[in-house]
Amino acid sequence: MTKAILRMGLAFIYPRPAPDGDAWELLRLLPEASHHLAEATFQDLLVSQLNAEVSELVASGLHRAYVPRSELLASPRGRLDLDRLAAQGGIVTASLPCTHHPRIEDSLLNQILLAGLAFAGAVAGDLHLRREARRLAALFEEQVSPLRLHAAVLDQGSRQVNRLTAAYAPAFRLISLLWDAQGVTLGETGPRQALPGFLFDMNRFFQALLSRFLRENLPEHSVRDEFRLRGMMRFAPGFNPRRRRAPTPRPDFVVLRGPQQEAVLDAKYRDLWEKHLPREMLYQLAVYAAGSQERSATILYPTTDGAAREARVAVADPVFGRQIAQVCLRPVVVSLLEGLVMSGSSAEAGRRRRAHAEWLALGRDPTAG
């Protein structure tokens, strides 16, 4: 189940249109004849894809940006730095202090790319992948300054990606996946504590997969990730002595049709068809259901059992027995979802994906009508 979800998730999170316009091209791997990938771990798959992506960027030419430089030049360019000239007591050498903006490859985007390759070369388990990452880094490390990788600089680089540098976005996503999964840090710029193995939050990955599938296949709705249910909880007047902010529940998804809320959804990476429902999940979803307009909230969970069916838990008033909310446990059959994701771009495939998205988000029977 995990492998199928990873394949679909990478196809969604890291999309690359195929030559025929198919948006569901599978992840590119090294040739099947390369027996050294038979035991490839997941981080090796990410490193392999990162190497392929950087190879394309290098082949097409790295992006050049105008970078500010303040230096002494024998042939003046740009603007004279009069403050620096005055501070040094006038012209005392054969060069002048200038501020100019050369268009060079030594930009933040390429620095992150170089640091990401170095990091990928260190974490890859496969010797050939490590060598390839280091070979690619050597192609432009003389033109690009080294950079220490950390969460803040990855954030800054992602914000600089625009329509001119959109080709860098897939590589940055892969570098972020590798970085986030390697350990913990006590601060954005603090030392990173490496842990044995490869940490990967499958719950977040499953959530990102469902988010992309629902957003692309519910054209008449908008899907909001981690939507804040503002105003649902608040401190009673006069009983907030520490003046703290009121808690704000944030379900994974809220499905809207215009301003109207139609569904509250939460993704849980736990097969609730085979395993029991933890009370913490039930209590969390009961709170979401109580605060929703429909008095209902749904858990989307993965399963490999094609016979899995939706279950519902009624939340009732214990005194009068009246139902006040309900929690739906809706299965995401992995083999079915994978078939839909990889089914191509035909009109019939699109119709089936939309029908399944309506079933997952809204509980509408795809065979009805």
Full pLDDT tens readout for the chain, 369 residues: 766 766 666 665 555 444 444 433 444 444 444 444 445 567 888 888 899 999 999 998 898 888 888 888 888 877 887 778 878 777 777 788 888 788 888 889 999 999 999 999 888 888 899 999 999 999 988 889 898 888 888 888 888 888 888 899 889 988 988 887 765 444 444 555 555 555 567 788 888 889 989 999 999 999 998 888 877 888 999 999 999 988 888 899 999 998 898 999 999 999 999 999 999 999 999 999 988 888 999 999 999 999 999 999 999 988 888 999 999 999 999 999 999 988 888 999 999 999 999 999 999 775 544
Residues 188 and 333: their CA atoms lie apart, in Å, by 38
Supply the pLDDT for residue 76.
Answer: 81
Instruction: Kindly compute the dihedral angle of the four CA atoms of residues 286, 287, 290, 295, in this order, to the nearest 10 degrees.
Output: -50
* Per-position DSSP letters for 127-138, written without gaps between them: HHHHHHHHHHHH
Q: Distance between CA atoms of 61 and 309, rounded to whole angstroms?
A: 52
The predicted structure's pLDDT at residue 180: 76
Residues 21-62 have pLDDT tens digits of 443 344 444 444 444 444 556 788 888 889 999 999 999 889
pTM score over 0.75 = no
Q: At what angle do helices 42-60 and 169-180 cross, to 10 degrees?
A: 150
Task: Output b/e per residue, 69-96; b: 16+ Cβ within 10 A.
Answer: eeeeeeeeeeeebeeeeeeeeeeeeeeb
Q: Could you tell me the domains of the chain?
A: 42-63+107-197 (no CATH), 68-101 (no CATH), 203-233+247-362 (3.40.1350)
Q: Give kind and range of the element (H or E) at residue 71.
A: strand 69-73
Contacts of residue 310, defined as CB under 8 A and 6 or more positions apart, other chains included, come to 328, 329, 330, 331, 363
Q: How far apart (Å, rounded) are the C-alpha atoms in residues 267 and 332?
A: 10
Whole-Å CA distances, 129 to 32, 44, 195: 15, 7, 21
Q: Render pLDDT for 226-278 as a digit per residue (tens, 0 to 9).
A: 888 877 888 999 999 999 988 888 899 999 998 898 999 999 999 999 999 99
